[in-house]
Amino acid sequence: MNTLRTAMLLAAMTALFMGVGYMIGGSGGMVIALLIAAGTNLFSYWNADKMVLAMNRAVEVDEKNAPEYFAIVQGLANRAGLPMPRTYLIDNPQPNAFATGRNPQNAAVAATTGLLQRLSHEEVAAVMAHELAHVQHRDTLTMTIVATLAGAISMLGNFAFFFGGNRDNNPFGFVGVLVAMIVAPFAAMIVQMAVSRTREYEADRRGAEICGHPLWLASALDKIAGDAERIRNPDAERNPATAHLFIINPLSGERMDGLFSTHPSTDNRIAALQAMARNMGGAPEAAVAPQQEDERQPSGPWDRAAQPEPPAEPARPKSNPWGRNPTGPKGPWS
């Protein structure tokens, strides 16, 4: 059902794009709009992953400089039957993660240092399983196309504002130009957000299947959402078009499950995962009850709450800020 809904939304976006071209320049404008859409989609198909990673200043890592993180992704990819994606880290205190790439063979996953520092070993595994679910479902390509079309529609709206459209071929006159300027970009934004929301629930479900524990992901979403409200992500704020790629919206003031949200409500997502855990015979809901603000402590990424606080680690060289020894608890990804 989600796949059919996404296909319908993509078709609506394409029709909207061509409709804007028709309002601005008649049949000739529609053809030009179609050519622009084809060109931008072709460019984004081959280069979108590089652009997104560069926007967030992601650094590629491997088993030498980030052994535990790399091993988690590798084990989960094997469990999901996926090729090993390129693995990146973003030096940012806000816990978050995203996936990108045109297909599973050319995919990349990225996590922030805040994610590794503030979540447990199991929660990190659940988050990366969610991102691998996006890769498996090819959501990254879908969202890239939608984002590109939305941007192109906004560009056409700006064109109509500055040039007023082709009055000789414009069948709607000033009304058509006004729709292209205001209504069409607004509608494109709604479609873009709707596509993103439909995919998050499905990625949650599949990610929980990959890691084997829905409550791990529920707990991770609760922690990430709470910290994302308090910790700003400057790179994401400068590039809001990439916000829909993250597991939790990294932008400030975007927490509603309404028309203008790029993500479903975190509470709704947690409730769905709790229901999934009950169906699987998992732990009771109290295991992932939201923590109070004063109880939310940024423990080490591989330490369980029942373990004593580890001794402070010596300062690490700047060239290897994320290297850790694989001491965390074993799980189904091992």
CA–CA distance, 19 with 11 (Å, rounded to integer):
12
For 225-282, the pLDDT digits (tens) are 999 989 999 998 888 777 888 999 998 754 444 445 668 889 999 999 999 999 987 4
Kindly report the pTM of this predicted structure: 0.71
Residue of 97, 301, 119 lying closest to 207 (CA atoms): 97
- Pick the range with the lowest mean pLDDT from 111-120, 146-155, 157-166: 157-166
**pLDDT confidence of residue 264:** 86
Residue of 66, 65, 39, 42 lying closest to 128 (CA atoms): 66
For 118-134, the pLDDT digits (tens) are 999 999 999 999 999 99
pLDDT at 69 over 90: yes
221 vs 285, more confident: 221
Tokens of 24: 């601005």
Q: pLDDT category, 87, cuts 50, 70, 90?
A: very high
**pLDDT confidence of residue 255:** 45
Cβ(135)–Cβ(104) below 8 Å:
yes
The fraction of the chain above a pLDDT of 90, given in percent, is: 40
Neighbours of 281 (CB within 10 A): 6
**pLDDT confidence of residue 140:** 78
**Residue 280: DSSP 8-state:** T
Strands in 97-100's sheet, in edge-to-edge order, are: 59-60, 86-90, 108-112, 97-100
Distances (CA, A) of 225 to 17, 134, 218, 290: 34, 19, 11, 10
Q: pLDDT category, 319, cuts 50, 70, 90?
A: very low
CA–CA distance, 97 with 203 (Å, rounded to integer):
13
Q: pLDDT category, 182, cuts 50, 70, 90?
A: low
**pLDDT confidence of residue 259:** 47
327 vs 163, more confident: 163
pLDDT at 72 over 80: yes
DSSP string, 25-45: HHHHHHHHHHHHHHHHHHHHH
For 15-67, the pLDDT digits (tens) are 776 776 666 666 666 677 677 766 766 776 788 788 889 989 999 999 999 99
Tokens of 260: 């203008």
Tokens of 3: 């796949």
pLDDT at 216 over 60: yes
77 vs 45, more confident: 77
Question: Could you tell me what percentage of the chain is helix, strand and coil, using 3-state DSSP and rounding each to the nearest 5?
Answer: 60, 5, 35
Query: Average pLDDT over the chain, rounded to whole?
Result: 74
Looking at the DSSP bridge assignments, the partners of residue 109 are 87, 99
**pLDDT confidence of residue 62:** 95
189 vs 334, more confident: 189
Which residues are tagged catalytic? Answer: 131
As a whole number of angstroms, the longest Cα–Cα distance in the chain is: 76
**pLDDT confidence of residue 317:** 37
CA–CA distance, 243 with 239 (Å, rounded to integer):
8
pLDDT at 313 over 80: no
Rg (CA), the chain: 22
User: Whose structure tokens read 């078009």?
Assistant: 241
**pLDDT confidence of residue 117:** 95
**pLDDT confidence of residue 293:** 38
Cβ(108)–Cβ(84) below 8 Å:
no
Q: Sketch the domain layout of the chain as residue ranges.
A: 2-291
For 142-154, the pLDDT digits (tens) are 776 666 666 666 6
**pLDDT confidence of residue 242:** 79
- Pick the range with the lowest mean pLDDT from 40-44, 105-109, 113-117: 40-44
Distance, first Cα to last Cα, the chain:
33
Neighbours of 189 (CB within 10 A): 16
CA–CA distance, 227 with 225 (Å, rounded to integer):
6
User: Whose structure tokens read 């931008």?
Assistant: 40
DSSP string, 152-184: HHHHHHHHHHHH---TTT-TTHHHHHHIIIIIH
Cβ(108)–Cβ(99) below 8 Å:
yes
CB-facing half-sphere around the CA of 217: CA atoms within 13 A: 37
